[in-house]
Amino acid sequence: MKVKVYSKDGKETGREVTLSDEVFGIEPNDHAVYLAVKSYQAAQRQGTHKSKEKNEVARTTKKAFRQKGTGGARRGSMKSPLVKGGGRAFGPKPHDYVLKVNKKVKDLAKKSALTYKAKDSNIIVVEDFALSAPKTKEFNAVLSSLNLAGTKTTFVVDGADKNVVLSARNIPSVLLTRTSQLNIFDIMNCKKLVLSENAVKALEQNFSEN
């Protein structure tokens, strides 16, 4: 598949890049995409939830009620889960939510997601560019010239200029990432995927090496 290359001003450069069928034109695997996205989202959870159990609550252990005749359950301590303010029975404990997915499945998921974006004509290729200063206004101008203002967009670059990174980070609808950090969620969680020329080459090279 051939895609036109645009400048940061939104003008055609007269060049085209050929997107490799091995990366952007495979038979998509929906289950691999599902597993990879699920694994990514699970890994974002902190897993620091914790409630105090009976042995961790600082309350008196004096027997507050007689054993029988109260009409309620037996309890010999105010730490009991049966009493308001007592410890929680079988409460949550800190643990991670990591779901292991094999690297080959993750790669298949990425290629499937890239294929979907290519088939839907939601991939835009731009020439590598730099900004003179870290200004959000300048990056907004780039978005406007590419007709992406207000559109949820993921920019993928390979070794981005520092000013470009700083200029893009304050725009809510834009995520700028490097090819080495690109994950399945970044690809799926956007309407348009903007790739720099070097990013296209880096992606194809990374997948060819795997």
Walk me through the domains of the chain, giving residue ranges and CATH numbers: 2-28+111-209 (3.40.1370.10), 49-95 (no CATH)
Burial (CB < 10 A; 0-12, 13-18, 19+), residue 162, is exposed
Contact 106, 206 (CB under 8 A): no
What whole-number distance in Å separates Cα of residue 192 and Cα of residue 51? 43
Name the residue with tokens 């404990």.
93
Mode of pairing for the β-strands spanning 2-6 and 12-18 = antiparallel
| Buried b or exposed e, range 47-77, using 16+ CB within 10 angstroms | eeeeeebeeebeeeeeeeeeeeeeeeeebeb
Burial (CB < 10 A; 0-12, 13-18, 19+), residue 189, is middle
Of 91, 90, 109, 89, nearest in space to 99 by CA: 109
Hey, is 16 helix, strand or coil?
Answer: strand
Which residue type does 148 have?
A: L
What does the pLDDT read at residue 210?
63
pLDDT 10s per residue in the chain (210 long)? 899 999 989 899 999 999 999 999 999 999 999 999 999 999 999 999 999 999 999 998 888 888 888 888 888 889 989 888 999 999 999 999 999 999 999 999 999 999 999 999 999 999 988 888 899 999 999 999 999 998 999 999 987 788 999 999 999 999 999 998 999 999 999 999 999 999 999 999 988 766
